[in-house]
Amino acid sequence: MVTVRERIMGRYIDLNIEDLDELSFSRVVDFVNEQWMEVKIENVTVPDTQKIAVLTVVKIAVELLKLKDIKKNISGECDQKIKEIIMELDKTDC
């Protein structure tokens, strides 16, 4: 198991990065910290760091779900187009 210590959302955390290469992991850490800083700035009157962390997780989850929906819609559209092409090919006698 490959474990690294990184500063995420203001705290040092030991994380297992077995499934990620170092560059990808670094991008993840940077992204999470950027999102955390944005939420922290947007909620400057909220002193509770746990609440800021939860708001950050929710913000990232919302974006993830939006992307999953987009991917699902694109996949559905592609499947429909493929079916239409197959139907057109079936109509022709090759």
Tell me what pLDDT residue 1 has. 66
Q: Say if CB 28 and CB 17 are below 8 A apart.
A: no
The C-alpha angle with vertex 71 and arms to 68 and 75, in degrees rounded to 5, equals 140
* Domain count for the chain: 1
Q: Residue 69 region, left (φ>0) first, then alpha (ψ -120 to 50), else beta?
A: alpha
Q: Domain of 81?
A: 3-91
What is the pLDDT at residue 94? Answer: 57
Q: Are 8 and 29 in contact (CB under 8 A)?
A: yes
pLDDT value at position 93?
66
User: What global pTM score does this model have?
Assistant: 0.72
**pLDDT < 70: residue spans in the chain:** 1, 93-94
Q: Is residue 78 classed as helix, strand or coil in its secondary structure?
A: helix
